[in-house]
């Protein structure tokens, strides 16, 4: 079966409008399940300029909107192709999750907000050294989620990757809980979960600072999210693997960050109670891997933002690897275990280990 967005658009009578629009982002495939998926692309509707005088308007920002087409009735474990507006650059493909224990591969990385040349090199390395079916982004996609001029840059850098994968991002503090994040990636809630084969993934919003204006509302948000997480963990105990994704790590070797997010640290007993396999986090611009009470904690914030030193690893014997370098993390499921490899820009293996089903060994 071949899915072509252009044909559906023509049937709906919107083909000419799409052709006339200036596409400045995507397409990107989001919300993928075994039966459905959404293809999103970003349109520039014009721009506004601002400056210190009428004659000097030096700063311009585009007006952006997301267009989308949803597909249902898909089959698990199947590759689909799409075509947006008949343009070669807007063609792509994605694969739906398998129903059983078929092998697959995915990639995790984050903190792509600055040093666009380095962000591009990280994406190039992902394309060269992996073949992911989906991507997890640990947040801080751009420097300021409310600045519309930054999103076309992000999409331009990642366009060749986005055309091949399903995309699942987490909110970082630099997204500022922006409306554009929700619209561009069709995220209906700041926290959500999904299944891929026999694995269950829970994406959290650890950026409490931007969820509300006052302390009481922030606390209410966190309590609601924590209750949702515990319920989701309870329901997913039948999954072979359970992963948590968030921006802020509960464990870090960056000394200035070690007391920075006590609410994330307070989730560790919950992770242990419900046998989380591992967690993927960002925020600290480096690579870190810890193994504590059977759970792998991975910090993968080497997507392009300026690197942070890893000068103070935890002192309780849980540290597996810390290094300050750009990288991404590749995970290959072989039908039994998850084989995890942290990879540098030149293909160098920085860290390698296995995650086992059920309780991590």
The average pLDDT across 40-51 equals: 90
Instruction: Determine, yes or no, domain membership for 207.
Output: yes
Instruction: Determine, yes or no, domain membership for 361.
Output: no
Total domains present in the chain: 2
Question: Among candidates 195, 131, 147, which has minimal Cα distance to 48?
Answer: 147
Residues 118 and 247 in one domain: yes
The CATH number linked to 6 is 2.60.40
- Which one is predicted more confidently, 21 or 205? 205
Share of the chain above pLDDT 90, in %: 84
Residue 299: its pLDDT value, please?
Answer: 98
Residue 20: its pLDDT value, please?
Answer: 55
Q: How far apart are CA 159 and CA 194, in angstroms?
A: 23
Pairing of strands 79-83, 59-71: unpaired
- Which one is predicted more confidently, 140 or 60? 140
Residues 222 and 124 in one domain: yes
Instruction: Determine, yes or no, domain membership for 78.
Output: yes
Give Cα 47 to chain centroid, integer Å: 28
Residue 149: its pLDDT value, please?
Answer: 96
Residue 60: its pLDDT value, please?
Answer: 79
Q: How far apart are CA 91 and CA 106, in angstroms?
A: 21
Instruction: Determine, yes or no, domain membership for 121.
Output: yes
- Which one is predicted more confidently, 316 or 332? 332
Residues 166 and 289 in one domain: yes
The CATH number linked to 291 is 3.60.21.10
The average pLDDT across 323-333 equals: 98
Of the listed ranges 3-12, 125-134, 245-254, 286-295, the least confidently predicted one is 3-12
Residue 359: its pLDDT value, please?
Answer: 57
Q: State which of 74, 96, 118 marks the end of a domain.
A: 96
Instruction: Determine, yes or no, domain membership for 360.
Output: no
Residues 129 and 91 in one domain: no
What pLDDT digit, counting tens, does each position of 70-124 carry?
999 999 999 999 999 878 889 999 999 999 999 999 999 999 999 999 999 999 9
Q: State which of 79, 96, 113 marks the end of a domain.
A: 96
Averaged pLDDT of the chain: 92
The answer, yes or no, to whether residue 23 has pLDDT greater than 60, is yes
DSSP annotation of 306: P
The average pLDDT across 317-342 equals: 97
Question: Among candidates 264, 308, 312, which has minimal Cα distance to 287?
Answer: 308
The answer, yes or no, to whether residue 18 has pLDDT greater than 90, is no
Residues 103 and 76 in one domain: no
What pLDDT digit, counting tens, does each position of 154-210 carry?
999 999 999 999 999 999 999 999 999 999 999 999 999 999 999 999 999 999 999
Q: State which of 96, 116, 145 marks the end of a domain.
A: 96
Residue 50: pLDDT band (50, 70, 90) is: confident
Residue 13: pLDDT band (50, 70, 90) is: very low
Q: Domain containing 345: what range? A: 99-355
Look at the block and give the residue holding tokens 């210190």. Answer: 52
Where b means 16+ CB within 10 Å and e means fewer, 10-26 reads eeeeebeebeebebbbb
What pLDDT digit, counting tens, does each position of 269-298 carry?
999 999 999 999 999 999 999 999 999 999
Q: What is the DSSP string of 79-130?
A: EEEEESTT-GGGEEEEEPPPSSS--EEEEEE---SS-HHHHHHHHHHHHHH-
The first and second tokens of residue 154, run together, are 């992000």
The answer, yes or no, to whether residue 358 has pLDDT greater than 60, is yes
Cβ-contact 187, 175 below 8 angstroms: no
Residues 191 and 83 in one domain: no
Question: Among candidates 276, 284, 289, 213, which has minimal Cα distance to 248?
Answer: 284
Residues 158 and 222 in one domain: yes
Instruction: Determine, yes or no, domain membership for 245.
Output: yes
Residues 53 and 113 in one domain: no
Residues 154 and 83 in one domain: no
Burial (CB count <10 Å: 0-12, 13-18, 19+), residue 251 = buried
- Residue 214's CB is within 10 A of a number of other CB atoms, namely 8
Q: How far apart are CA 205 and CA 203, in angstroms?
A: 7
Share of the chain above pLDDT 70, in %: 93
The answer, yes or no, to whether residue 140 has pLDDT greater than 50, is yes
Look at the block and give the residue holding tokens 């694969």. Answer: 95
Residues 80 and 145 in one domain: no
The first and second tokens of residue 200, run together, are 């269950």
Residue 7: its pLDDT value, please?
Answer: 33
Gyration radius (Cα) of the chain, Å: 20
What spatial distance separates the first Cα and last Cα of the chain, rounded to whole Å?
41
Instruction: Determine, yes or no, domain membership for 231.
Output: yes
Residues 53 and 116 in one domain: no
Instruction: Determine, yes or no, domain membership for 15.
Output: yes
Residues 127 and 252 in one domain: yes
Measured N-to-C along each axis, helices 116-129 and 150-162 cross at an angle, to the nearest 10 degrees, of 10
């Amino acid at each position: 079966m071949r899915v072509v967005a252009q044909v559906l658009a023509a049937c709906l009578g919107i083909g000419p409008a799409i052709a006339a629009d200036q596409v400045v982002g995507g397409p990107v495939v989001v919300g993928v399940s075994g039966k459905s998926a959404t293809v999103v692309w970003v349109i520039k509707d014009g721009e506004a300029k601002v400056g210190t005088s009428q004659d000097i308007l030096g700063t311009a920002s585009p007006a952006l909107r997301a267009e989308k087409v949803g597909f249902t009735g898909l089959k698990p474990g199947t590759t689909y192709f799409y075509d947006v507006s008949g343009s070669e650059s807007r063609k792509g493909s994605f694969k739906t999750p398998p129903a059983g224990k078929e092998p697959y591969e995915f990639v995790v990385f984050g903190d792509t907000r600055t040093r666009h040349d380095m962000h591009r090199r990280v994406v190039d390395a992902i394309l060269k050294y992996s073949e992911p079916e989906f991507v997890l982004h640990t947040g801080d996609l751009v420097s300021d989620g409310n600045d519309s001029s930054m999103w076309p840059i992000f999409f331009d850098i990642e366009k060749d990757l986005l055309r091949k994968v399903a995309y699942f991002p987490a909110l970082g503090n630099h997204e500022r809980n922006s409306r554009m994040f929700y619209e561009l990636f069709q995220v209906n809630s700041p926290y959500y979960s999904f299944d891929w084969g026999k694995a269950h993934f829970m994406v959290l919003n650890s950026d409490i600072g931007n969820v509300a204006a006052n302390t009481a509302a922030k606390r209410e948000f966190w309590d609601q999210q924590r209750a949702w997480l515990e319920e989701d963990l309870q329901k997913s105990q039948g999954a072979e693997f359970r992963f948590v994704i968030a921006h802020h790590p509960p464990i870090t070797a960056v000394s200035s960050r070690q007391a920075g997010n006590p609410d994330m640290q307070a989730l560790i007993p919950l992770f242990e109670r419900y046998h989380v396999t591992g967690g993927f986090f960002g925020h600290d611009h480096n690579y870190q891997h810890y193994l504590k009470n059977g759970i792998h904690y991975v910090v993968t914030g080497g997507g392009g933002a300026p690197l942070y030193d890893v000068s103070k690893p935890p002192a309780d014997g849980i540290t597996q690897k810390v290094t300050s370098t750009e990288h991404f993390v590749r995970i290959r499921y072989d039908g039994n275990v998850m084989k995890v490899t942290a990879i540098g820009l030149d293909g160098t293996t920085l860290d390698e280990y296995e995650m086992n089903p059920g309780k991590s060994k």
